[in-house]
Amino acid sequence: MMVQDIPRALIVLAFNAVLCAQGINIPRNLDKLAERATESVDVTLDGSLLQLASGFLSKDNADEVKVKKIVSKLKGVYVRSFEFDKEGQYSISDLEAIRSQLKAPGWSRIVGVKSIKGENSEVYLKRDGNQITGLVVLSAEPKELTVVNIDGPIDPEQLSELSGHMGIPRFGRSKPETGNTARSK
């Protein structure tokens, strides 16, 4: 059988399956936002870099040991975060290239928060059967934009363990503060 004999639809289907198997690609237009940002974070850790970075985590710290175990299964962690000194430095359409990828089979939006103050957040999960194989968080505020993409198998209960590590912003429940937190006037 010759390649030209393979129906075009089959080729398109196979190509889409390959694209879905890869992760979400963060579009280049987001990287251009760094030029306008007062502060930007760019974390790009593929599987081999994750393993290298996890080597710097302590074997004696219980929290870091948990993070190391979680990271060992991941294919990549990608974070883009921008803070601006004034509103209007980015457009919600800057996220459309990511949202269009999240319409692929296996992805589903599990959280959507919209505020009249312009603070919008979305969380998407990629599932393969009962296993979560990817997570994307889009957080857009008037002066701040953050995209987090975790590629690879992860247990939802372990997500909070990654908070604050590998460039992933802190999220989840805040711990109660100890001591006197009252401010003097």
DSSP for 111-141, written as a single string: EEE--TTS-EEEEEEEEETTEEEEEEEEEEE
Say if 58 falls within a structural domain. Answer: no
Give Dmax over CA atoms of the chain in angstroms.
Answer: 82
Say if 59 falls within a structural domain. Answer: no
Taking the CA atoms of the chain, what radius of gyration do you get in angstroms? 19
Q: 173: pLDDT confidence band, cut at 50, 70 and 90?
A: very low
pLDDT at 8: 36
Say if 66 falls within a structural domain. Answer: no
The residue with greater pLDDT, 165 or 156, is 156
Boundaries of domain holding 124: 23-46+75-158
Cα distance between residue 161 and residue 66, in whole Å: 7
pLDDT at 108: 93
What are the angstrom distances between the C-alpha of 91 and each of 7, 113, 116, 118, 159? 40, 17, 16, 12, 28
Cα distance between residue 50 and residue 153, in whole Å: 14
pLDDT at 182 over 60: no
Say if 176 falls within a structural domain. Answer: no
Q: Cα 6 to chain center, whole Å?
A: 37
Q: 84: pLDDT confidence band, cut at 50, 70 and 90?
A: very high
Q: What is the mean pLDDT of residues 151-173?
A: 65
Q: Return the SS3 of 31.
A: helix
pLDDT 10s digits, 6-42: 333 333 333 333 333 346 788 877 888 999 999 999 9
In a 10 Å sphere around its CB, with 0-12 CB exposed, 13-18 middle and 19+ buried, how is residue 80 labelled?
Answer: buried
Residue 14 backbone phi and psi in degrees, to 5: -65, -40
pLDDT 10s digits, 43-82: 888 888 888 877 887 788 887 787 787 788 889 889 999 9
Q: 164: pLDDT confidence band, cut at 50, 70 and 90?
A: low
Provide the number of structural domains found in the chain.
1
pLDDT at 122 over 50: yes
In the chain, the percentage of residues whose pLDDT exceeds 90 is 27
Report the range of poorest mean pLDDT among 9-13, 104-108, 159-163, 177-181.
9-13
pLDDT at 83: 95
Say if 88 falls within a structural domain. Answer: yes
Say if 36 falls within a structural domain. Answer: yes
Say if 107 falls within a structural domain. Answer: yes
pLDDT at 4: 41
Say if 5 falls within a structural domain. Answer: no
User: What are the structure tokens assigned to 29, written together?
Assistant: 């237009």
pLDDT at 168: 60
pLDDT at 5: 40
The residue with greater pLDDT, 108 or 175, is 108
Strands (E), the chain: 39-46, 76-83, 107-113, 120-128, 131-141, 144-151
